[in-house]
């Protein structure tokens, strides 16, 4: 088995790096001008890249005896290989010809000789890659209202044309020996849109579709076949959500079998968009990441029935290992970059690490290495490539300014060693990890624990600490991906309300709580005593006579008529108010004129009380 290798393309350089050292080889000259694009052949044997003046094809392996070649074709902006790596296809932006003929901007070249062997006109770069069967027996070129089928692929004329109105997209053929194609037919005159699945033999014979699924509300469509070529998943996306629940539109996932035995909507138990979906390489199940954050990762069988939940996390990316044993669920883009590696056979998480700011992720053909890259223009800082072990250990870091593209060289799965029953031990990381690892990041494996929810300093180490632990909508994910909901009833009675910082109902107060109460009372009492001392000191300095005791009505007044007693009570209240004003004046407070007049009328109030028979 050949050692894994990855290629990269940056603003001013490009290169190829081989495992296990991951040193950049000299197969691409260092003085090469800016590389516009590159591509590996499907079998990983050839590597092609384009510069402004020409296209260069070289053996991917340094030990290969094949000779590199140069194709004198300028202004190429995209390249790709045929399924069996016999031809290289190049794309140029269409330009107007002086003779009025259509510009053949898609050209086919023989990989061994470098000779041009075919070509045609293609309006745009979107969907330019030729649709060729796995055996290279047929080629399909969609037109405005028909499909042209060529056999052999580079024949001058098609063997047949199939008329299909309102074609909005033709999706790649499945890899099955009996190839099939999915055709997206848009809405027309009130009729719904549909996806029609044709076997190639039916399409050539102009027979009806083998299966068809109609639906409304689709502005974008993404179709993915399983490896067996028997079923297809397609994601219908609309730009506007008619219900108004989502700003980003509406998404629906459908499952259709090629023989027409099953078609239906994949029902999801959580509201929100569908971020990603992927088939297992075994073709026996598929996984979907969906729902408002934290998103749920769920496995389904071939009847669209849920089989297993991997819990809810901030994830939006799914990728199966080529051998089908491990599954990556990650959160890239506007998420923090958390990556989980699951063992699908045991449903256990085997690794967890963080690949911050990543915009690209893929497996190596051997299923032992993971590549993550931060690419421009998605992010123009911290660009570079990182290589991880399948157990979560970081093995290699390559910083690279203005990095545009990075990928592993592909390989055929049957040419790789079977993945062992136990995740193999990771090799030693190369020196770049210690040199370029961000400061403060010390973990180098899948045993790192999540940081957890933020807790204010006052809540740390107390019972209230648990109140800041976020409970997901379906409970925390266990090692097996299962979740346990929080019980609403305990012992046959409703669970009591939990108040952060408060002791459980019926428990004795904590000692620190008693001490806090004592300190509060002491502070309150001490403050009041100090205030009384200040007032007494002010009174002593001014030598103001202490107020006499509150006058009490005499027994005669109390026994008199009600009117007299009422007047005495009112006058006594006035006298009490005057005494309070005198105390405030003695304490240094500035009184208003009306308050000073009340103090001046003290003698008059006392005389009135005496005249009524009271004591003042």
pLDDT tens for each residue of 379-394: 888 899 999 998 889 9
- Cα 91 to Cα 125: distance, rounded to the nearest angstrom: 8
CA pseudo-torsion sign 466, 469, 473, 479? negative
Whose CA is closest to 370, among 352, 382, 345, 347?
A: 352
Q: What's the confidence (pLDDT) of residue 306?
A: 92
Cα–Cα distance list, 102 to 35, 99, 211, 228 (Å): 27, 9, 36, 39
Question: Do the Cβ atoms of 158 and 148 come closer than 8 Å?
Answer: yes
Q: What's the confidence (pLDDT) of residue 494?
A: 44
- Cα 525 to Cα 521: distance, rounded to the nearest angstrom: 6
Number of domains the chain is built from: 1
Burial class (CB in 10 A: 0-12, 13-18, 19+), 508: exposed
Q: What is the DSSP letter of 438?
A: P
Asked whether residue 557 is domain-assigned, the answer is yes
- Cα 432 to Cα 82: distance, rounded to the nearest angstrom: 36
Asked whether residue 544 is domain-assigned, the answer is yes
Asked whether residue 208 is domain-assigned, the answer is no
Question: Do the Cβ atoms of 605 and 574 come closer than 8 Å?
Answer: yes
Over residues 482-495, the mean pLDDT reads 40
Distance of CA 246 to the CA centre of its chain: 16
The most confident of the ranges 44-58, 99-113, 158-172 is: 44-58
The angle formed by the CA atoms of residues 175, 176 and 180, to the nearest 5 degrees, is 85
Per-residue tokens: 105: 């901007």
Asked whether residue 374 is domain-assigned, the answer is no
CA pseudo-torsion sign 598, 601, 602, 608? negative
Mention every residue, 6+ apart, whose C-beta is less than 8 A from residue 205.
none
Q: What's the confidence (pLDDT) of residue 557?
A: 42
Confidence of residue 476 (pLDDT cuts 50, 70, 90): very low
Distance of CA 187 to the CA centre of its chain: 32
Residue written as tokens 């030693």? 428
- Cα 524 to Cα 323: distance, rounded to the nearest angstrom: 73
470-474, 561-565, 578-582: the lowest-pLDDT one: 470-474
Length of the chain: 616
Beta strands in 471-573 (DSSP E): 489-490, 493-494
User: Is-cis flag, bond preceding 152, omega within 30?
Assistant: yes
Largest CA distance in the chain: 136
Q: What's the confidence (pLDDT) of residue 221?
A: 83
Asked whether residue 231 is domain-assigned, the answer is no
pLDDT tens digits, residue range 124-145?
Answer: 888 888 888 888 888 888 877 7
Q: What's the confidence (pLDDT) of residue 513?
A: 54
pLDDT tens digits, residue range 410-431?
Answer: 887 667 777 888 888 888 888 8
46-55, 85-94, 498-507, 599-608: the lowest-pLDDT one: 498-507
The most confident of the ranges 192-206, 253-267, 425-439 is: 253-267
Mention every residue, 6+ apart, whose C-beta is less than 8 A from residue 139.
130, 131, 132, 133, 149, 150, 151, 152, 153, 154
User: Is-cis flag, bond preceding 369, omega within 30?
Assistant: no
The most confident of the ranges 105-119, 426-440, 449-463, 507-521 is: 105-119
Q: What's the confidence (pLDDT) of residue 493?
A: 41
- SS in 3 state form for 175-195? CCCCCEEEEEECCECCECEEE
Q: What's the confidence (pLDDT) of residue 564?
A: 85
Asked whether residue 580 is domain-assigned, the answer is yes
Over residues 566-578, the mean pLDDT reads 87
CA pseudo-torsion sign 85, 91, 97, 102? positive
Q: Is 538 helix (H, G, I), strand (E, B) or coil?
A: helix
Cβ neighbours around 317 below 10 Å, total:
19
Q: What's the confidence (pLDDT) of residue 594?
A: 85
- Cα 27 to Cα 77: distance, rounded to the nearest angstrom: 21
Burial class (CB in 10 A: 0-12, 13-18, 19+), 324: buried
Its domain, for residue 608, covers: 538-616
- Cα 306 to Cα 296: distance, rounded to the nearest angstrom: 12
pLDDT tens digits, residue range 214-249?
Answer: 877 777 888 898 888 888 898 888 877 666 666 767
Q: What's the confidence (pLDDT) of residue 360?
A: 92
Asked whether residue 215 is domain-assigned, the answer is no
- Cα 89 to Cα 109: distance, rounded to the nearest angstrom: 6
Asked whether residue 615 is domain-assigned, the answer is yes
Q: What's the confidence (pLDDT) of residue 125?
A: 84
Over residues 82-107, the mean pLDDT reads 85
The angle formed by the CA atoms of residues 8, 10 and 12, to the nearest 5 degrees, is 130
Confidence of residue 509 (pLDDT cuts 50, 70, 90): low
157-171, 271-285, 517-531: the lowest-pLDDT one: 517-531
Name which residue leads in pLDDT, 189 or 301.
301
> pTM above the 0.85 mark?
no
Q: What's the confidence (pLDDT) of residue 524?
A: 52
**How much is the CA Rg of the chain, to the nearest whole Å?**
41
Question: Do the Cβ atoms of 399 and 436 come closer than 8 Å?
Answer: yes
């Amino acid at each position: 088995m050949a050692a894994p290798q990855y290629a990269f393309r940056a603003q001013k350089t490009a290169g190829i790096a081989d495992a296990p050292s991951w040193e950049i080889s000299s197969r691409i000259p260092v003085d090469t001008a800016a590389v516009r694009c590159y591509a590996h052949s499907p079998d990983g044997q050839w590597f092609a890249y384009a510069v402004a003046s020409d296209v260069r094809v070289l053996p991917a392996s340094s030990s290969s005896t094949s000779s590199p070649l140069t194709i004198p074709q300028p202004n190429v902006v995209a390249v790709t290989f045929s399924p069996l790596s016999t031809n290289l296809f190049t794309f140029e932006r269409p330009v107007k010809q002086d003779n009025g003929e259509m510009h053949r901007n898609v050209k086919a070249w023989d990989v061994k000789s470098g000779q041009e062997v075919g070509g045609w006109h293609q309006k745009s770069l979107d969907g330019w890659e030729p649709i060729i069967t796995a055996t290279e027996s047929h080629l399909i070129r969609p037109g405005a209202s028909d499909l042209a089928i060529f056999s052999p692929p580079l024949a001058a004329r098609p063997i047949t044309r199939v008329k299909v109105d309102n074609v909005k997209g033709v999706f790649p053929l499945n890899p099955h020996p009996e190839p099939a194609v999915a055709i997206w037919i848009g809405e027309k005159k009130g009729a719904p849109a549909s996806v029609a699945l044709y076997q190639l033999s039916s399409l050539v014979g102009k027979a009806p579709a083998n299966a068809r699924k109609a639906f409304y509300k689709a502005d974008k469509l993404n179709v993915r076949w399983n490896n067996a070529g028997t079923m297809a998943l397609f994601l219908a996306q609309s730009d506007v959500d008619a219900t108004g629940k989502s700003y980003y539109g509406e998404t629906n996932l459908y499952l259709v079998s090629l023989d027409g035995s099953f078609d239906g909507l994949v029902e999801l138990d959580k509201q929100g968009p569908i971020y990603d979906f992927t088939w297992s390489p075994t073709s026996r199940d598929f996984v979907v990441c969906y729902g408002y954050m934290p998103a749920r990762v769920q496995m389904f069988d071939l009847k669209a029935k849920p089989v297993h939940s991997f819990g809810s996390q901030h994830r939006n990316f799914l990728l199966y290992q080529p051998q089908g044993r491990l599954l990556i669920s990650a959160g890239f883009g506007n998420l923090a970059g958390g990556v989980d590696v699951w063992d699908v056979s045991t449903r256990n998480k085997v690794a967890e690490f963080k690949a911050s700011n990543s915009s690209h992720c893929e497996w190596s053909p051997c299923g032992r290495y993971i590549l993550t890259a931060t690419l421009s223009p998605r992010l123009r800082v911290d660009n570079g490539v990182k290589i991880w072990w399948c157990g979560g250990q970081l093995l290699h870091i390559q910083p690279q300014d203005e990095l545009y593209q990075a990928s592993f060289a592909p390989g055929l799965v049957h040419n790789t060693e079977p993945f062992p029953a136990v995740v193999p031990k990771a090799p030693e990381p190369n020196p770049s990890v210690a040199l370029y690892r961000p400061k403060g990041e010390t973990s180098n494996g899948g045993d790192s624990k999540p940081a957890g929810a933020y807790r204010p300093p006052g809540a740390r180490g107390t019972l209230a600490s648990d109140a800041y632990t976020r409970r997901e909508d379906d409970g925390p994910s266990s090692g097996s991906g299962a979740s346990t909901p929080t019980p609403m009833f305990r012992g046959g009675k409703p669970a009591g309300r939990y108040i952060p910082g408060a002791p459980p109902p019926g428990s004795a107060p904590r000692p620190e709580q008693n001490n806090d109460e004592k300190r509060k009372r002491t502070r309150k009492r001490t403050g009041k005593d100090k205030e009384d001392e200040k007032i007494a000191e002010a009174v002593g300095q001014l030598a103001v006579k202490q107020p006499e005791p509150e006058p009490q009505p005499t027994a005669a007044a109390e026994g008199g008529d009600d009117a007299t007693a009422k007047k005495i009570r009112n006058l006594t209240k006035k006298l009490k108010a005057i005494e309070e004003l005198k105390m405030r004046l003695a304490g240094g407070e500035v009184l208003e004129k009306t308050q000073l007049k009340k103090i001046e009328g003290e003698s008059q109030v006392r005389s009135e009380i005496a005249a009524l028979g009271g004591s003042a």
